[in-house]
Structure formats: structure tokens, C-alpha cells
Structure 1
Amino acid sequence: MAINIVINLAVALALLAFMYRQQSSHASFTVRVFTGLGLGVLLGAGLQAVYGAASLDLKTTGDYLDIVGTGYVKLLQMIIMPLIMVSIIAAILKLKNATSLGKISALTIGTLIATTIVAAGIGILMARLFELSAVGLTANAAEAARGAYLQGKLGDAQAISLPGMLISFIPANPFLDLTGARKTSTIAVVIFSIFIGISAIGIHDKKPELFASFDHFIKVAHAIVMRMVTLVLRLTPYGVFALMAGLVASSSYADILKLIHFVLASYSALILMFCVHLALVSAAGLNPLRYVQKIFPVLAFAFTSRTSAGSIPMSVQTQTRRLGTPEGIANFAASFGATIGQNGCAGIYPAMLAVMIAPTVGMDPFTAGFIVPLLAIIAIGSVGVAGVGGGATFAALIVLSSMNLPVALAGLLISIEPLIDMGRTALNVSGSIAAGTVASRVLGQTDMAVFHADAELGEDTETEEKSKAA
């Protein structure tokens, strides 16, 4: 191993050791996440300044940092399906009826789709204010290759219809979906878990002994899975540090400056939509500043990891242990939010692309004849957008092809795609948490004592109860 790489890794290990000392001295989880984020930016910027973005030494260093960053993401992905399954079954066993389940689903999904339509409208507004247009942009080799790739994927997007999406949610082989093999596996596991829960309730009166045994089994499984979630979430600051360092080190600042107009327009739209989320939370009777403080760690992880699905475990624990949302609602919001109605990937991004590309084919994107169909297509297309990397691309293909716009031009943004995707993913997760929070408040199920308490992510429930008792 080259001496340069050894030095780089030694510096990274020293920073990780500093973060571990923070943990040992009982610094708050939010402070440790902020520290990981800041140190990751500094390390990434320093490495690029010394070696340059195209350096082989930098790439090799990034590969080793991936052991921490990507390894952390994979650990989170490992617990997604078990968490969804046992949590939803446990929640249904507590509900004892399907009426509450229907209300939770309707409120959560309705909020997700409604906010996606609002997000699309904000995307259109920002595109207008920043005068975005693809007219006159030229493509380099990478952008041209990306355009050709998108053109090749067009057939898959055009083959998707709303009935087809809804059918894909049905778990024909639930064991396959438990592996996450399909884009809609998350929702399929939710549906399978609902069937198990409702079936179990059905034997409550007829076979109470069997029901009691199953209920006990689910409680044990739930306790074990939540313990596993706690163990993994304790690694969050280290994962954020490694992910951010790798991203900053490999970013091309020249490409970002070239398309800085689109970057500014995108983040203006993302920030404005986040303010809409805060307005909804405030309207539900919660302090928006305290709300932001509580959800920051999960947004920071979503921002650095760029995976909505990978954020599900942290989102669920944030909602239940910090916001006071019941576990059933939290799981529904996090699970549905990773696939349906993503405000960033399925709302803002395809809307801005459509407005940007429309002038290249002589269409005026600011007429009712263009905007109304665009919003309708985005609302329908937001159902079933994957919660992993590539979801925004898939949503853009659906919207652009449905509006008869050239999809290859979306390849012009490949150089800034990671930077934009960070903000989009954070907004997706923010939208799902806001949907769960609003649904919980509307149904009168939010535990305000938990919301006003100072619980930390990664703590054991027993530890929390002991601290409260003390």
C-alpha cells in the first residue's frame, strides 16, 4: 500500500477516534452527527485539494472509507424488511380492528401525494424564477453517454401504467420481496404484514391460546429487531463522516459551477418545500423548531447516503422515540414514503426537468395546457417510485415520456446529479416524517410527553425509562 494512502487512512482513523471519544463522553447524538458531517466535509475537501478529484490515491482512499460509509448503509438495509414486518404486525395486533388501519393508510398516503403535487408546483415556480432552459446547452462525452442510457431505459418507463404499478404492490412471492428484489418490495412487505396481522386478529376470539402465543412471539421478535436497530443507529455519526468525505473528495467543482444556476434553483425549491413541511407540522400544533431539532440526524443521514429506503429504520425510531408518533403510523409513513409520493425525487425534480426541456421542442411550459397535465402525471407517477438510488431518474423518465419531451437531455445534468440527489433524498425523508406526524396528530395519537422530552436516537428503551424514572 502506498505511503500516501496509509497517511490518508491514518488521518481518517484519528478523526474516527475523536468521534468515538465524543461518544464516550456522552455528547448528544445530534452533536455527534454534526461533528461527523463537518469532519467529513473537511477531510474530503482536504483530500481533493492535495490529490485532485481524478487521483488514483484518492480513489483507493475512498474505497477504504466505503467500508465505513457503504458498510453502514448496508447494515441499515439489512434491518429494513424485518423492522417493517414485525413492527406493522405488532401495531395491528394492538389496533384490534381494521378501521384505524384504513384511516392511517388514507391519511398517510393522501398527505404524501398531496405534498408531492405541491412540490411539483414549487419546482415549476423555481424554474420560472431562475429562467431554467436546456436550450443551447452542449453535452460532453459523459453527458452524451448518460443521455443514451436514459433513452435506452425509456421503454421500461413507458411500459409502466398506474394499474401496473398497483398490481406490482401485491406480493405474489412475499419471500422474494423480503429480499428486496423488486422496486416495490417495501410496499409488498407492508401488505403481506397487514394480512398476517389481520389474520391473527381473526383468531383472537376463536383460538385465544394460539393468538396469545403468536402475540408473544411477535413481541419477542419486535424487541430483538428494535435492539438491532439501536445497535446500528449508534454507528450513524461514523457513517455520515465516511459518506460525506467520499462525496466531497470525488465531486467536480468545475462541473458544479457550470450548472450552478440549476443547483441554486433546485435547492431553493427543496428549502421552500421543507418550509411547507414545517408549516404542516405547525398547523398540527407542534413547535416547528423543536421538530427540526429532533429530525435533523435522520435528514443528515439521508442527505449523505442518498437512500430513502436506507433511512427507514432511523426514520421510524425518530418518529417513535423523539416525536411521539405511534409505531404503527411511523412504520406506515416511513415505508410508504420510501416508495410513494417522494417530494424531491418524484415532485420537484421531474417538474423542473420538464419545464427546462420543454422550450427545446418549441413548447411553452408556463401555460395551463402544459402545467395541469404535468401535475397530474407527476401525481400518478409518484406512486411506486423506488426508494433507492435511481428513483428520481425513473420518475423523470415517466414524466418526460408522458409529456412527449426528449428524455436524453436529462443526461446534461449528470455531473451535478449526486449534489442534487442529496437534497432530494433528505426532502423525501422529511416528507414521509411530516406525513406520519400529521396523521398521528389528526388521529389524536401523538404522545406529547415524548415530543417535549430529550430522548436520543440509539438509546435502549430500558435506558430511556430508567433515565425518566431518575
Structure 2
Amino acid sequence: MNFPLIINLAVALAVCFALYRMQAAQLSFSTRVFTGMGVGVLLGGAIQALYGATSPEVAATGPYLNIVGSGYVKLLQMIIMPLIMVSIISAIIKLKDATALGKISVMTIGTLMATTMVAALIGVLMAKLFSLTAVGLTSSAAELARGTYLQGKLPDANAISLPSMILSFIPANPFLDMTGARKTSTIAVVLFSIFVGVSATGVAVKKPEIFDAFANFVKVAHAIVMRMVTLVLRLTPYGVFALMTQVVSESSIADILKLISFVAASYSALLLMFCVHLVLIAAVGLNPRRYVQKIFPVLAFAFTSRSSAGAIPMSVHTQTGRLGTPEGIANFAASFGATIGQNGCAGIYPAMLAVMIAPTVGIDPFTLPFIAQLVGVITIGSVGVAGVGGGATFAALIVLSAMNLPVALAGLLISIEPLIDMGRTALNVSGSITAGTITSRLMGQTDMAVFNNPAEVELDSEQLVS
């Protein structure tokens, strides 16, 4: 082990110890997450300034940081399926009106799809304002290789249709889907959990003693799973620190500057769409400023981890513990939002990419027919985009192939993909939380005492475990 690596790891361990001391001093969860992110940016920038993004020292440090960063994400992914199952089954058992399930599903998915449509239009607008085009861009060896890879993935994208995607949501083997084996496993587990919950309520009338035993079992399982969630969430500041340090230290400033217009346009679109979310929150009578303060930690995690699916446990905890959303609605929104209607990955990104690439084949992307077709394809294609790293690429393949545009040109953006993906993922999670909050509010189920409580409920405390 070389000396620079020892120094890097020693500094990283010192930061982790400082974060632990902050937790022991009972500093707020948001403060610790923000500190982890900020120090991660500073340390990553310092490492890159000293050694260079492609140096052996950075390459050697990355795997150790990955133990903390990716390890944390894996722990979150570990508890996703148990959390979804016990939460949804528990919520259905408590429901007095089973028809509420249909309303929750329609309102949640409808909000996700509608906001994705708006996101696509914002993507087109920003591409126009920043004059984005792929005409004249040159390709490096890495970009050409990426283009070839995307071309090879095209048959998989072309094989997808809306009927086949909807059919894939039905769990032929729910135990397989509990392993997360398929891209649509999350939705499949949601549907299986609904089926179990509805079946249990059907038993309640005929065999109440059996129902009571099952309900008690679910209550115990729910308490254990929520305890697991709390334990994992306590690692959030450390995970955010490690992930941010690794991303910043390995980012190429030269590549970012080369495509700075696309970076600026992307983040302008993401911020504008986030403002749309806040407008919707205000429209249902909630305070946008308080809303932002309450959801910041989960957005910070989504930004650093680049995993919409990994953010599900924290998203559910945030909605229930800070926003006053019932657990059933929170799980529906977080689960569906990780797969359907991702505003960033499946809305803004493919729209900007299509507008950017269209001029290379002589198509004017700012005609009404092109825009109408593009928005329609994006809205439908957003169904089933996996909530993991790479989901945006797959969404782009679906859209570009449907629009008969050259998919290989998407490889031109490989150098800035991680930087853009961070913002996209944060917007995806924001969209799912917005959908859950709106659904809860319109159904009159939001606990306004929780939402209006100025005291910050800690996401990693025992207060949320019941």
C-alpha cells in the first residue's frame, strides 16, 4: 500500500470519525448529511487537484471509498423488498375502504405520468434555449465504444412494447421478484403485496381469529423491518460522504468543460422541473419552503448515489415521518416512482437528447409534429424504466429508436454522464415524493400536524419506529 493511498484513507477515516462525533453530539440528520456531502466535495476536489482524475492514486483510493459508498447503497437495496411488502400489506389491512386502493394507484401513477410529460416539454425548451446540437461534435475512442455498445442494446429496446411491459409487472414467481431479478421486480412485489393484503381482508369476515393472527404477524414484521431501516439510515452521512468524494475525485474537468452547454442546459431543466413540483405542492395547500426543508436529506442521498431504487426506504421514511403521508401511499409513490414516470431519467434526458441528435439526420426538432410525437413516446416509454444507474440510457434508447434517430450519437455524452445522472436521480425521487404528497393531500389523508411541525424529526431516530 503506497503512501498517498494511506494518507487519503487516513483523511477519509478522520472525516467518518468526525461524522460519528456529530451524531453522538445529537446534531440534526440534515446537518450531518449536508456536512458529509460538503466535505466529500472538498476532499474529492483536493484528491483530484493533487493527483489528477486518472492517476493511479485516485484509482487505488476509489475501491476503498466504494466499500462505504456502494456498501451503504447495497444495504438500502437489501431492505427495499421487505419494506415494500410489510408496509403495503399493513396499510391494506388497516384500510376501511378497499376502493381507496384504486384511487391511490390512479392518482399516484397519473401524477407521475403527467409530470413526466411536462418534464419532456421542459427538456425540449432548454435544448432550444441553449441551442444544443450534436452536429459537429467529434467522437473519442471511449465515445465511439459507448456508441457501439448502445447500438448493440438497440434490439432490447425495440423489443419493448407497452403491453409487454404491463404484463411484466405481473409476478409469475413472486419469490424470484423478491430477489430483484427483473427490472420490474419492484412493481411486481407491490402487486403481490396488494394481492396478499386484499386476500387477508377477505379472510377477516369469515375467519376473524386467523385474520387477527396474521395481522399480529404483519405488525411484528413491520416493527422489525422499520428497525432495520432506521439502522441503515444512520449510515447515510457516511455513505453520502464516500459517494461524493469518489465522484468528484474521478470527474474530468476537461470533459465537463467540453460539454458545458449540455451540463448547463440539463441542470437548468432539472431546476425548472423541480420548481414545477413546488408549484404543485403549493397548489394543494402545502408550504413549499417547509416541504423542501423536509425532503432535503433524501434528495442529497439520491444526488450522490444515483439510485432511484436505493432511495425508496429513505423516501418512505421522509414521507411518513416528515410530510405526514400515510405509509401505504408513501410506499406506493416511492415504489411506482422508482420505475414509472421518472421525470429526470425518462423525461428531460431523452427529450434533450432527441432534440440534440435530430439535426444530424436533417430533422427540425422544433416542429409541432416532432414535439408531439416525442412527448407521446417519452410518456409511454417512461413506463418500466429501471430505477438504477443506467435507467436513463435505456429510456434514451427507447425514445431514439422509436423516433428513428441514430442511437450511437448518445455515446458522445459518456464523459459527463455521471455528473448529469446525479441531478436526474434527485429529480426522479423528488417526482415520486411529489406524487405521494399530492395523492395523500387530495385524499384528505395528510397528517398536517406532522407536516407543519417545525421541529425536525430525525430519519435515523427511534421516533419513526412503531
Instruction: Provide TM-score, normalisation by structure 1.
Output: 0.98
> 2-side partners of 1:452 and 1:97: how far apart?
27
Shift, 1:55, TM fit: 1.3
Q: How does 1:27-106 map to 2 (within 5 A)?
A: 27-106=27-106
Q: Which residue of 1 aligns with 2:152?
A: 152
Share of identical aligned residues, percent? 76
> 2-side partners of 1:211 and 1:461: how far apart?
28
Q: State the SS of the aligned residue for 1:205.
A: helix
Q: How does 1:380-459 map to 2 (within 5 A)?
A: 380-453=380-453, 454=455, 455-459=457-461
Q: Which residue of 2 aligns with 1:461?
A: 463
Measured against aligned partners, the alpha-carbon deviations of 1:132-181 in whole angstroms (never above 9, x if no partner) come to: 00000010000000000000000000000000000000000100000000
Q: State the SS of the aligned residue for 1:98.
A: coil
Q: State the SS of the aligned residue for 2:78.
A: helix
Q: State the SS of the aligned residue for 2:181.
A: coil
> 1-side partners of 2:234 and 2:11: how far apart?
22
Q: Structure 1 unaligned runs (5+)?
A: 466-470
Q: How does 1:63-462 map to 2 (within 5 A)?
A: 63-453=63-453, 454=455, 455-461=457-463
Instruction: Provide TM-score, normalisation by structure 2.
Output: 0.99
Shift, 1:59, TM fit: 1.2
> 2-side partners of 1:462 and 1:356: how far apart?
46
Q: For residue 312 of structure 1, what is the amino acid of its counterpart?
A: I
Shift, 1:462, TM fit: 6.9
Shift, 1:97, TM fit: 3.5
Residues 321, 464 of structure 2: 8 Å contact kept: no
Residues 333, 432 of structure 1: 8 Å contact kept: yes
Shift, 1:461, TM fit: 2.7
Q: For residue 166 of structure 2, what is the amino acid of its counterpart?
A: L
Q: For residue 457 of structure 1, what is the amino acid of its counterpart?
A: L
Measured against aligned partners, the alpha-carbon deviations of 1:243-281 in whole angstroms (never above 9, x if no partner) come to: 000000000000000000000000000000000000000
Q: For residue 54 of structure 1, what is the amino acid of its counterpart?
A: T
Q: For residue 12 of structure 2, what is the amino acid of its counterpart?
A: A
Shift, 1:96, TM fit: 3.7
> 1-side partners of 2:200 and 2:232: how far apart?
30
- Tell which deviates more after alignment, 419-428 or 451-460: 451-460
Q: Structure 2 unaligned runs (5+)?
A: none
Measured against aligned partners, the alpha-carbon deviations of 1:21-56 in whole angstroms (never above 9, x if no partner) come to: 111111111111110000000110111111111111
> 2-side partners of 1:55 and 1:419: how far apart?
19
Runs of 4 or more, structure 1, over 3 Å off, are none
Q: State the SS of the aligned residue for 2:105.
A: helix
Q: Report how many residues are paired.
A: 464
> 1-side partners of 2:299 and 2:398: how far apart?
27
Measured against aligned partners, the alpha-carbon deviations of 1:395-418 in whole angstroms (never above 9, x if no partner) come to: 000000000000000000000000
Shift, 1:357, TM fit: 0.3
Measured against aligned partners, the alpha-carbon deviations of 1:263-305 in whole angstroms (never above 9, x if no partner) come to: 0000000000000000000111111001000000000000000
